[in-house]
A and B are shown apart, each in its own frame.
Chain A
Amino acid sequence: MKLEIGNFHVRDIVFGDALSFRDGILTIQKEEALNFIRQDDRITEAELYIVKPGEEVRLCPVKEAIEPRVRPDGRGIFPGYTSKLLPAGEGKVHALKNCSVLVVGRHMGGFQDGLIDMAGPGQKMTIFGNLLNIVLVADTNEAFERFEQQKMNDALRRAGHKLAEFIAGCVKELEPEEVEVYEMGSVRGRDPETEKLPSVVYVMQPQSQMEALGYNDLLYGWDLNRFLPTYMNPNEILDGAVVSGSFMPCSSKWSTYDFQNTPNIKALYREHGKTLNFLGVIMSNLNVALEQKERAAQFVAQLAVSLGADAAVVAEEGYGNPDADFVACLVALEDAGVKTIGVTNESTGRDGRGQPLVTLDEKCDAIVSCGNVGELIELPPMKVVLGELEALGRDGNSGGWEHDEILGPSVRPDGSVIMENNGIFCGDQVAGWSPKQMMAF
């Protein structure tokens, strides 16, 4: 399977007369883009903004991030979700780099939504503080979940995915400035020098905790709660096979942008044939019932052994209950003789004294640890807020609160905030970006 990602490096984004990409400048025709979004009659209110690193802008409640992409051959970029179900991971896709489409609720947030600052001390807390962002701020008529803490955010998220593809339409016919090639064939009969290297599988545990459908990560449009682990070509992940969901406390979230660019997969590709033999991805999940966790771990270990893996990396999208899946999977792999390392975040609390994961095992002896969901964060006011900052404290955002005797409310009258890292949009970057590390004090 050979995937060619043709990159177009965006230096600036402006609104203008026609959607175009020229000399690094992405021009968006605002009304045209908004009319495209309004085709979904669930959207009741929509506005577009461009925000750039260094601007004093705060975004909240942020629901999703997508890298704008398009396929020159006309296939859709999220098969089984926004377009016809077809295999991903093969052929050419064009990508607008250094930018993302962000979806922000105009009014209502929830448990799963996050905050992004484009300047100040919060800017470094998520990669999106350093990207050029096309921000869709919108509201919907989905009254059934308006006041629910758990929201599917279906209309808003789909609007973002479709908008990302719509905007990338301007580079469909253009020649990319650079092409990244990802090629992986059968696990059998590989080059003899590569075969001598230690073989490695990458095990992904995307979020799937909600029993009800519509909240979890999707694989080719299929809800990962109704799923058992399977083997995948890593190109499929990099090419839109997985779409992010709407459930986990936000710093633990893997947005669709994260899936499209998963740094851990790219790093394993870079080492392939040099220091290791990358066998591919075992896609798993994070269901809540104990037997489901054990069944998934059993499947993962069996697949790894059958594929001939000497080593495995396990990464989880979440914390708390999913730690049980993470640890069970690491232990099952170690017990099967596969040398395993994990990538995760921790929940040691505001004082840092809590147990890192809800369950632990001495076999988890090699962990890359990317952040503390409970870290207390104070951020100064920003000149502009896109969305509704009150959502952080009011709507059950996992990093915010309405009232606290000692700390006061999360959202203060002057526009400054105090919150947990939990509410920073994709802040812990377990997909591989994280420049953060947990350390003992």
Chain B
Amino acid sequence: MKKAIVYLNQFFGQIGGEEKAGFEPEIREGQVGPAMQMAKTLHAEVTHTIICGDNCMGSNPEETCAKILAMLDGLEFDIFLAGPAFQAGRYTVACGLICKAVKEKFGVPVVTSMNVETPGVNMFRKDMYILKGANSAAKMRKDLSNMVTLANKLLDGVAIGPAEEEGCFPRGIRHQVWRKDGKPASERMIDMLLKKVNGLPFVTEMPIPKIDRVPIAPAIKDLKKAKIALLNTGGIVPVDNPDRIQSASATRWGRYSIEGADGLEGGVFKTVHAGFDPAAADADPDVITPIDALRALEKEGFYGALHNWFYTTVGTGTTESEAARMAREIVPYLKEDCVDAVIMVST
């Protein structure tokens, strides 16, 4: 049988109330409090219960998590469950913190439950399954049952459905689903249209997310000393495309030496970008990666030096999340090479 470990705070762990909120974490064999109820229907044996005071976790989260992770070292478990935390603010944050730490270290699925009004929801919903919990422990039975239902799907390898069906907070992930009723877009369009035009409530199928804004970096103090790198999403690569960067929906990037080069030549470099007419860029790649112009400015002493490598990916159809991941991979190279600024050419 698979194995589970449950995390509870001092109150549900039957240590005490607010006066015991500083309780240092302990691990106990077997099931305490709500863990006993979970064990009845969970498709795993609850082997241990961890109990920790909310203030202990709240005032010293890193050290407390490290202590708990050390307790788990060497134990076999297939899933980690925390809570339910209801509307107890500190408890929700504690559940989120320990679930995130356990998931990162041990790679097992984690499940918790919190009320929508608590801080834990927005802090952790992108990191784990958080079930929509009640606002008081009077609903313990229901919240526990919801946690066990989802945990059993994870244990049994059953596909997890949309957040609304599972009763979870959305994790910032959107996928296409074949509607069970097969209702075509044209009928959904009419429904939404009539509701909106008649002033009735309607539900959009694409809620507008909060847009991530990147702050503008501070200006370079002395351009004459700056080392500048050239990056592009226009797909300029050596003609054999050695990194096999995709023509659209790119997940790959490459960097190519331009040491000593006064420009890129057609026939040696080309574009693999499929989102525009490639003729001009194939004939003269410098229209996208203006190495010729940058060299001229470098010789004039307008800025310090052009970095010896330029970086390439393809922008068409490439998602913002893949682009961010590629940036995280590229940035360490640029830092290691002491690049002061980059020019990003988009197409």
Contacts and interface: CB of A to CB of B under 8 A. Distances in A.
Interface of A: 111, 124, 149-150, 198, 200, 209-212, 249, 263-264, 266-268, 271, 275-276, 288, 310-311, 313, 319-321, 339, 341, 343-344, 346-358, 360-362, 364-375, 396, 398-399, 401-404, 420-422, 429-430, 432-441
B113 interface: no
Given A353-B172, A440-B162, A311 B196 contact: yes
Interface stretch (B41-49, B60-68, B138-146, B201-209): B201-209
A358 B174 CA distance: 15
Contact of A432 (B189, B207, B246, B252): B189
A40 to B, nearest CB: 25
B190 A198 contact: no
A167 to B, nearest CB: 27
B173 interface: yes
26 contacts: A111-B247, A111-B248, A149-B274, A263-B185, A271-B190, A321-B275, A344-B206, A347-B319, A351-B321, A354-B319, A354-B322, A368-B185, A368-B205, A370-B185, A372-B176, A396-B272, A398-B248, A398-B317, A422-B317, A429-B184, A433-B186, A434-B185, A436-B177, A439-B175, A441-B160, A441-B161
Contacts of A367: 204-206
Contacts of B176: 370-372, 375, 421, 436-439
A151 to B, nearest CB: 11
A365 B204 contact: yes
Interface in B164-193: 164, 170-179, 182-190, 192-193
Contact of B177 (A288, A403, A404, A437): A437
Given A210-B277, A311-B197, A429-B185, A249 B317 contact: yes
B189 A264 contact: yes
Main secondary structure of the interface of B (DSSP, over half): loop
A349 B320 CA distance: 8
> Which 10 A-B residue pairings sit nearest by Cβ, starting from the closest?
A354-B319, A432-B186, A349-B319, A440-B170, A439-B162, A352-B173, A367-B206, A263-B186, A267-B186, A369-B205
B211 interface: yes
A355 B319 contact: yes
Given A398-B247, A398-B317, A401-B244, A436 B178 contact: yes
Contacts of A399: 249
Contacts of A361: 208
Contacts of A263: 184-186
A374 B249 contact: yes
Interface residues of B, number: 57
Given A355-B211, A433-B185, A441-B175, 15 more contacts: A264-B189, A275-B190, A275-B194, A344-B206, A362-B208, A364-B206, A370-B185, A372-B174, A374-B317, A399-B249, A435-B183, A437-B205, A438-B205, A440-B162, A440-B174
B278 A150 contact: yes
Contact of B164 (A249, A271, A371, A440): A440
Contacts, number: 216
Contact of B175 (A149, A319, A372, A429): A372
B205 A441 contact: no
A441 B173 contact: yes
A209 B244 CA distance: 25
A367 B188 CA distance: 10
Nearest to A267: B186
B118 interface: no
Contacts of A401: 244, 246
B209 to A, nearest CB: 7
Given A351-B321, A366-B196, A313 B189 contact: yes
Contacts of A439: 162-164, 174-177
A288 to B, nearest CB: 8
B197 A368 contact: no
B257 interface: no
Contact of A403 (B161, B244, B317): B244
A371 B320 CA distance: 17
Nearest to A433: B184
Contacts of B37: none
A407 to B, nearest CB: 9
A433 B187 CA distance: 9
A149 to B, nearest CB: 5
A221 to B, nearest CB: 21
B336 to A, nearest CB: 23
Contact of B249 (A210, A311, A357, A398): A398
B274 A348 contact: no
B71 to A, nearest CB: 31
A313 B193 CA distance: 8
Contact of B317 (A124, A370, A373): A373
A440 B192 contact: no
A310 B204 CA distance: 19
A372 B244 CA distance: 24
Contacts of A358: 320
Given A339-B197, A360-B211, A368-B192, A349 B321 contact: yes
Nearest to B241: A402
Scoring B184, B185, B205, B246 by chain A CB atoms within 10 A of each residue's CB, the highest score goes to B185
